Amino acid sequence: MDSADPTIAILVPCYNEAVAIQSVIEGFRSQLPSAVIYVYDNNSTDDTCRLAAEAGAVVRRETRQGKGHVLRRMFADIEADIYIIVDGDDTYDPASAPALVAALRAGPLDLVNAVRVENGDTAYRLGHRFGNHMLTRLVTRFFGSSSRDMLSGYKAMSRRFVKTFPALSTGFEIETELLVHALEMSLPLGEIETRYRERPAGSLSKLRTVQDGMRILKLIVKLVKEERPLLFFSLLAAILALLSLAAAAPVVLEYVETGLVTRLPTAVLATGMMLSAIIALFSGMILDTVTRGRRELKRLHYLRYAPVR
């Protein structure tokens, strides 16, 4: 690279990846020799730190457990023009790194996602594949994503994306937050395919299919509430209104027939639910205005940074 080329930082969050970390570092150094490789250790109990340092990476530590905590620290500490995040388990192909950088610069784009193409029958477990597909479709429904692999841990990002990303997640759900942030800000996105292989022998996955899937689902609900408040509270209002009408129907029919209201508690319940529905609807309208203002401020902050070239 010449002096006009952007600086590149390769970010490798790690927890007990002694078996694979040196291979990851050597692979990315061979593909992007001018990049600085940062390994952030997340309380490993094996030799991850020592082996990463011996391989020539800049090794730092984040004691708060969780990938979200690690990436938040990385994004705050590291200065570069282009950031590549990749897991330290040697399942992603370093040979795709130049293509990620090229796609980011050619756009110019703010986020390029590496879509995993399996290289081996057991590289991508069935539960993870199904969960990824389901959660990706859910995000598409609410936020308009066209991503084919939302939960990929291999991405290239511009400086202006990284420095304006709030990073609120604590665990593996951070990949979902990255994509939703880009969609909410209407940032230019891209995807390329990359080989995805099995972990090396002796390396154990930290993913928990059910627990992590539930955390991601919980995050999606939270993001819908915060980024699409009118939609969220309108759905809540509709549910409350339908329940109110269902409870009120026999009371109204009885009143029409007899002129009496003998089910007073039911009438009060139906009235309360309808009032709650009205409050929910107006809350959504107010919060939608607040969200729009917050989004405008984030956009203005984003525009302070030049696009990657």
Least confidently predicted of 38-52, 80-94, 114-128, 141-155: 114-128
Band of the pLDDT at 3, cuts 50, 70, 90?
A: very low
Tell me if 11 sits within 8 A of 72, measured CB to CB: no
pTM over 0.75: yes
**pLDDT > 90? residue 28:** yes
State residue 223's pLDDT score.
81
Question: Last residue of a domain, which of 176, 206, 226?
Answer: 226
Angle at 277 (CA atoms; ends 272, 279), nearest 5 degrees:
95
Among 105-119, 139-153, 202-216, name the most confident range. Answer: 105-119
Tell me if 72 sits within 8 A of 14, measured CB to CB. Answer: no
pLDDT in tens, 284-300: 999 999 988 888 888 88
The per-residue pLDDT for 143 is 81
82 lies in the same domain as 26: yes
Structural domain count, the chain:
2
Residue 308 belongs to a domain: no
Residue at token pair 């282009």: 82
State the pLDDT confidence band at 120, using cuts at 50, 70 and 90: low
pLDDT given at position 1: 44
Q: How far apart are CA 51 and CA 55, in angstroms?
A: 6
CATH number for position 70: 3.90.550.10
If you average pLDDT over residues 213-229, what whole number do you get? 81
Q: Which two tokens stand for residue 248?
A: 């009120």
Cβ-based neighbours of 135, under 8 Å, separated by 6 or more? 150, 151, 176, 213, 216, 217, 220
CA–CA distance, 73 with 71 (Å, rounded to integer): 5
Least confident of 80-89, 146-155, 227-236: 146-155
Q: Examine the domain organization and report whether 108 and 204 are in the same domain.
A: yes
194 is a domain residue = yes
Whether residue 4 has pLDDT greater than 90: no
Q: Are residues 276 and 195 in the same domain?
A: no
**pLDDT computed for residue 205 by the predictor:** 61
Instruction: Let me know how many helices (H) and strands (E) the chain has, helices first.
Output: 10, 7
Q: Are residues 277 and 220 in the same domain?
A: no
User: What is the domain range of residue 252?
Assistant: 229-302
In a domain, 2, yes or no: no
Here the tokens at position 173 are 């759900």
Q: Please, what is the average pLDDT of the chain? A: 87
Same domain, 153 and 295: no
**Are 125 and 184 part of one and the same domain?**
yes
Helix (H) or strand (E) holding 107: none
Last residue of a domain, one of 199, 226, 253: 226
